[in-house]
Structure 1
Amino acid sequence: MATMEMGCTSNGHHGVTLGIEKQVTKATQYYQKLIAELFATYFVVFAGCGVMIINVDKDNLVGMPGIAIVWGAAVMVMVYAVGHVSGGHFNPAVTIAFATCKRFPWKEVPGYVIAQVLASALASGTLRLIFNGKHDHFVGNAPSGPEVQSLVMEIIITFYLMFVISAVTTDNRASGQLAGVAIGSTVLLNATFAGSVSGASMNPARSIGPALIWNEYTGLWIYILGPTIGAIGGAWAYNSLRFSDKPLLEIV
């Protein structure tokens, strides 16, 4: 009897230990995700906004196509670098859109959004410290025409960005190895034709960071509301095409 009681006690302690270890592991993994989002979003904003400053300083040396290429390449590189760690969002609109589709836990959304916005602000602050004086140029977004025009543009281009993201990252029938290329190319294409209209933000964090550092908030609501609406619409639109979560070979 005593042996049985000792065995039960031992198993009880063992179960509690495993439970604590599991919680610690989950917490560690979550912090790793936040750090990955912080580093990746910082690099994307630093590279993309940095080339915009250099373009102005060097009398349009890079040009709009060059700026679009840098933004797309930065996103592509970071998707491959940390996509397997955090999911490679780098964008509050993407995080929220995934959560609305139940493909990302709502309880992790606040942490992701804070990490993304903080990274954007840090990257913008770094650029302002490096390029000060006459080189100090606002690298945030502002409508070049009517606000409604920029709002509609942001909704549409973010819709297609999220549509592509959903296709290559959530459907087992797609080729996941090419996710970075597909997502980066979409950013490049959107930035090429929409950059001169709305700035082609597609990312609330990308616009909020520079706005905070330069204290420029003109039209900021457009770059928060537009990408969020577009991303949610793109995610749900692709969900209507996903008739199964199983790989195509398994279905056959």
Structure 2
Amino acid sequence: MKKREPGTYKEHRLPLIGYLPNRIRNHFIAMCGEFIGTFLFLFFGFSSTQVANAAANGANSSTGGLSQVPNASSLLYISLAFGFSLAVNAWVFFRISGGLFNPAVTFGMALVGAINWIRAGLIFISQLLGSMAAAGVVSALFPGPMNVSTTKGYHVSTAQALFIEMFLTAELVFTIFMLAAEKHKGTFLAPIGIGLALFIAELSGVYFTGGSLNPARSFGPCVVLHYFPPYHWIYWLGPALGAILAAGFYRFVKILEYETANPGQDFNEKEAEVFVHDEDNAATGADVARPVVHMPRPDYSAGEAGPQASNESVSYPATGVSPQASGSRDGVNGNGFGKTPIESPANNSAGPSAAVTSFRSGPAVESGSRS
């Protein structure tokens, strides 16, 4: 390890952790987060399924299979349990590891470049370990045979079960792409949408396939019960194909610059007022980016005469709209990407990086800066 120069050592909460390379430390943190998060997510899901199936008629207790009697209340209970468990734990662990808890989701995130393959491989191991730990704890804590495995329904062929798992997983993974991988003003609420997506998918899939959508969810109980059904492979291949399908469609809409089709989704009221949707010239996502809007900011300073308001203003965000009196802007929405001869950056001496004038008279404020 390279010797640190005197004075370059940063003080950490845990002594000596600063000597561990950041990349290794970050991978370790993500692995711990995925292990604990997967454990908690599946613990509550498994335990709720155990409760729902404890007295269900027709349960195959010898293999721990779900009851094949179409009990609507049990299906709803299980679906709600998994959906809410994912929402809560994803919200808790999102800042630590990303809150994936699912090898299929991890695979999809790696396919679209949201995480690198080394991180994906490490948290994949943590997810499987978390699943086995959750199944083991549920088996030890709750009385009776463990009854949480994913099994095919009666008269459901292996091919049907495979494609059910594929399409339901694709819906879940694409939801994660658009709510979590794509950053927007509602990203902090992504766990709610993701939990609801799993809830809807479980409603459709629990009766026919057990509603896995997650190889770890099916793998853990099989390890604890020492029984793998002959069709267990569908709970690996189906979700993997679903992740590939979701990743393919996500890349497709990204290549087509989907942002230009329905712009303004993240704008506030002021930004929407100054935004101009020039559909003929808006060819890329940058052309419909959030405009800069200067909002007066009443900063107060104490003095002999009491609090005094300053004349400062705030500009949001760094995409460059100049709210001039004439209404003219540099390029499409002032970001300099307009393609018409009049609005092209080449014909604008100021260019897209020109200083933006505040609503008030005063010094110019550069785009996205805070005076």
TM-score range, shorter chain: 0.7 to 0.9
Q: What amino acid sits opposite 1:232 in the alignment?
A: I
**Residue type of the partner of 2:148?**
V
Correspondences of 1:46-125 after superposition (within 5 Å): 46-59=43-56, 63-125=74-136
Matched, 1:240 2:252: yes
Across the aligned residues of Structure 1 and Structure 2, the Cα RMSD in angstroms comes to 2.5
Structure 1 length as normaliser, TM-score? 0.86
Mind listing any 5+ residue stretches in structure 2 that lack a counterpart? 10-16, 57-70, 260-284, 292-318, 320-332, 334-371
Aligned to 2:359: none
- 1:14 paired with 2:25, answer no
| 1:29-50 deviation digits (Å, cap 9, x = unpaired) | 2211111111111111111111
Counterpart for residue 139 of structure 1? 148
User: Which one of the candidate residues 35, 40, 43 is aligned to 2:40?
Assistant: 43
Cα distance in 1 for residues equivalent to 2:72 and 2:202? 17
Q: Is the 8 A contact 2:53 2:74 kept in 1?
A: no
CA distance in 1, matches of 2:50, 2:90: 24
Normalising by structure 2, we get a TM-score of: 0.60
**Alignment correspondent of 1:249:** 290
Which secondary structure does the structure 1 equivalent of 2:242 belong to? helix
More helix by share: 1
CA spacing shift, 1:173–1:248, aligned 2, 3 Å: farther
Deviation at 1:21, TM superposition (A): 4.6
8 Å CA contact retained: 1:93, 1:232:
no
Q: CA deviation at 1:14?
A: 3.0
The sequence identity of aligned pairs, in percent, is 25
Aligned residue runs from structure 1 range 141-220, under 5 A: 141-144=150-153, 145-173=156-184, 175-218=186-229, 219-220=231-232
CA distance in 2 between counterparts of 1:229 and 1:154 reads 9
Structure 1 residue 53: Cα displacement: 1.0
1:142 CA displacement: 1.7
Instruction: Number of aligned residue pairs: give it.
Output: 239
Q: How far apart in 2 are the matches of 1:235 and 1:206?
A: 21
Gaps of 5+ in 1: 1-11
The higher relative CO (CA closer than 8 Å, separation ≥ 6) is in: 1
Q: 1:58 to 1:50 in 2, by over 3 A?
A: same
Q: Is the CA contact (8 Å cut-off) linking 1:116 and 1:205 kept in structure 2? A: yes
Q: Is the 8 A contact 1:45 1:206 kept in 2?
A: yes
User: Shift of residue 24 of structure 1?
Assistant: 2.5
**In structure 1, what is the Cα distance between the partners aligned to 2:186 and 2:232?**
36
Greater C-alpha radius of gyration: 2
Counterpart of 1:140 in structure 2: which amino acid?
S
User: Is the 8 Å Cα contact of residues 64 and 195 (structure 1) preserved in structure 2?
Assistant: yes
Conserved? CA contact 2:53–2:147, under 8 Å:
no
